[in-house]
Each structure stands twice: as structure tokens, then as C-alpha cells.
Amino acid sequence: MNRKQQIIEAAKKVFAQKSFFEATVEDIARESGVKKATLYYYFESKLDIFIALIEETLSSISERMMKLDFSEPRGKVVADIIDCYFTLFEEKRDLLVIIQRAGHDFLHHPEAKSKLSALKERFEEYLREVGWKLHPVVTRHGKEFSGADFFKAITFSLIGFFSFSVHTDMEESDVFRELFREVFAASLSE
């Protein structure tokens, strides 16, 4: 693991123990085993480390989604997308907690809002890129939707579910995975 990744991994631990605003650059440097000057060589600020955490996760999601076989029947593709999200959120549950804890505070922090704006654009591009691979989506009732809109519906439904599960300490179970697969796949025409 290179130094930059070492710092990012340490930041995950620190942000999981403390909120973003309670954590200090010193805490992250200490946890990563590097000097504060080394940390600043790779990142300008604690916010930049946090952004790197989110970017890393977004890249991971995007890479996994792009590996799916979109030539399969739509119902199978939808099930694979849901499985991909469940697997990712199970692996990165702690990161979701970190993002949720910081999210509200960031809405009132001008520098964070500005930097997160670029990340939001990247997330929207990801939604369009994967959604395009689903296009067009036709429901059982013959209604046609863009693949991007359908993919957003899946993504935001699951984000809401995982956010709720984190707040209530509810475990994501195979029952919920199967439920999401059935609900979204059942809406599609064959």
C-alpha cells in the first residue's frame, strides 16, 4: 500500500471513531504512521482526504457496475445491479456511516459544498453512464423510461434503504436483497 492509500485508510478509521469535524489532521497522521508534513504533501486539507475517500468509493462502484453484462435480459441485469450495491454497501458500511455523519454539517460549510459539487457532477455522470447501458427501460404496462432514470430509481432507493439500516443498526439481509430484486425486476416487460 502506498503512502497516499495508507493515509486514506487511516482517515477511514479516524472518521469512523470521531466525526469529520472532531477528527484532526494530527489524528489521521498518527493513525497512518506518517508525519503531518507527509500528509500535507499528499493532501491540502482534511476535507481533501475526505473527498478522496468518497472518490475512491465512487470509482469502486463504477468499476463494478461497468463489469456487469448488460446484454443479459433486463431482469437479470437489474438483479445483478442490486447484488452489486448490496455487496458494496456490506463491504463499506463504515464509510456510509462516516458520510452520513458529515453530510449534514457539510451543507453549512462553504468550502465543503464547493468541493462536493464537483463530486456530485462525477456521481451524476456515473448514473448517466451506467443508466445508458440499460436504455430504454420498458415497464410491463408499456411505459418507456430512460435507463438513466431507472438506474437512479434503483440507486436512490438503495441509498435510502442503506441509510435507514445504518441509523437503526438493521442488518442488510438476503430477504431485503431479494425483495429489491423482485420489486425492480417485476416492473419490467420481458
Q: Are residues 63 and 95 in the same domain?
A: yes
Q: Are residues 30 and 76 in the same domain?
A: no
In-domain check, residue 49: no
- Quote the pTM value: 0.85
Residue type, 166: V
In-domain check, residue 131: yes
In-domain check, residue 48: no
Q: Are residues 75 and 143 in the same domain?
A: yes
How many folded domains does the chain comprise?
Answer: 2
In-domain check, residue 130: yes
Amino acid 130: pLDDT:
93
Under 8 Å between Cβ of 130 and 151: yes
Q: Which of 32, 28, 24, 22 is nearest to 2 (CA)?
A: 32
Q: Are residues 158 and 95 in the same domain?
A: yes
Give me the domain span that covers residue 62.
Answer: 54-186
Q: What confidence tens digit (pLDDT) does each residue in 153-163 have?
A: 999 999 899 88
In-domain check, residue 101: yes
Report the CATH number at residue 24.
1.10.10.60
Mean pLDDT score of the chain, rounded to an integer? 89
Alpha helix positions (H), 135-173: 147-167
Report the CATH number at residue 149.
1.10.357
Per-residue pLDDT tens listing for the chain (190 residues): 799 999 999 999 999 888 888 899 999 999 999 999 999 999 999 999 998 998 888 898 999 999 999 999 999 999 999 999 999 988 888 888 788 777 766 777 777 778 788 888 889 999 999 999 998 999 989 999 999 999 999 999 998 998 888 878 777 678 899 999 999 998 888 7
Other CB atoms closer than 10 Å to residue 149's CB: what's the count?
A: 13
In-domain check, residue 74: yes
In-domain check, residue 111: yes
In-domain check, residue 19: yes
What distance in Å separates the CA atoms of residue 72 and residue 79, rounded to the nearest whole number? Answer: 11
